Amino acid sequence: MSAAMDRALKALSLEEEDKPFDMPDLPGFCSNEKNKLSLVGRMLNPECQKMKANVEWLASERFQFFFDHEHDLLDVLEKGVHTFNEWALAIERWVEEPPDDYLQFISLWVRISNIPINYYTKEAIMALGDLVGEVKEFIFDPTKPQTQPYQRVLVKFNVANSLKMSRVINIKGAKPVTIHYNYERIQKRCFTCFRLNHEQSRCPLVVKRRKDEAFARRQAISKELELKKVVLHEDDPLYGILTEDQHWFLRTLCFGRDQEESVPAKTAPKIKEKA
């Protein structure tokens, strides 16, 4: 080992820590101005959303899309939820310090139908919308004729939740009513749990049901094999006359597959005579 290397090793300390690096606050180092006119998005079902062009990819299945004009960016946001390959995207405007729930919510226009006539009020309809998500906008004028069989509300929806397709509402002095929800611009979803982040074939509920069914089949096969393992004991009247397979067949014929009793002794003489 050279003397210079030896001196360098002696100078090292395991307790030594690097000092924080101060990033220069210069235009060439920061892209804030560029990012101000951009949207950041997240694919909710990456396996079915292979996006390649026109976007800048970030980490964790996220992407960034840049605009030349503010009004174009706002127009995209005002349209509500967007999809790619028929699966929803979570899209929000870029922020320098994203909150913990960033890209966890989407804006959904929801059509609420089968509302009782007596409850065509702003308070009642907003309460029904809050069952889906936080109501952010509501277009309703009770002074005008209602020409549609539904009411529209814009909600802030948590993508970790399931889409509610209906809800039973109890009304004092009347029969319960089933309210229906329809989500505008939503195309594909899981039709078992109604979430937006996987296909039905990959739904945890479907996978669990398949595993349970497979386990039940294995248990049934194991039980059947156990029945076949029954042997003839020396005190059995048929011991030495029938083979174990013949004994199992006769026992199944007499008692069924679920029984574990031996062939009755009164059957033995007849078999012995034939033997």
CB atoms within 10 A of CB 60: 8
How far apart, in whole angstroms, are the C-alpha atoms of residue 247 and residue 94?
Answer: 77
163 neighbors 58 (Cβ within 8 angstroms): no
For residue 21, give the DSSP letter. Answer: P
Nearest alpha carbon to residue 92 among 118, 113, 65, 127: 65
152 neighbors 109 (Cβ within 8 angstroms): yes
What is the residue extent of each domain of the chain?
A: 28-99, 105-198, 200-224, 230-274
Phi-psi domain of 59 (left: phi exceeds 0; alpha: psi -120 through 50; beta: other): beta
Nearest alpha carbon to residue 223 among 192, 197, 258, 256: 258
How far apart, in whole angstroms, are the C-alpha atoms of residue 207 and residue 213?
Answer: 10
The confidence band for 46, taking pLDDT boundaries of 50, 70 and 90, is: confident
| CATH of 28-99 among 2.160.10.10, 2.60.40.3080, 3.90.180.10, 3.30.70.330 | 3.30.70.330
Could you read off the pLDDT of 208-239 as tens digits, one per residue? 999 999 999 988 888 877 766 655 566 666 66
How is residue 256 written in tokens?
Answer: 């069924």
Could you read off the pLDDT of 128-186 as tens digits, one per residue? 999 999 999 988 887 888 888 999 999 999 999 999 999 999 999 889 999 999 999 99
How far apart, in whole angstroms, are the C-alpha atoms of residue 84 and residue 145?
Answer: 37
The owner of tokens 């292979």 is 50
How is residue 145 written in tokens?
Answer: 């004729």
159 neighbors 92 (Cβ within 8 angstroms): no
In the chain, the percentage of residues whose pLDDT exceeds 70 is: 71
**28-99 shares its CATH topology with 105-198:** yes
Q: Lowest mean pLDDT: which of 87-96, 116-125, 238-247? A: 238-247
Backbone angles phi, psi at 166, to 5 degrees: -160, 165
How far apart, in whole angstroms, are the C-alpha atoms of residue 154 and residue 215?
Answer: 45
Q: What is the mean pLDDT of the chain?
A: 81
Q: Average pLDDT, stretch 198-212?
A: 92
Burial letters for 144-171: b for 16+ Cβ neighbours within 10 Å, e otherwise? eeeeeeebbbbbebebeeebbeeeebee
Classify domain 105-198 by CATH architecture.
2-Layer Sandwich (3.30)
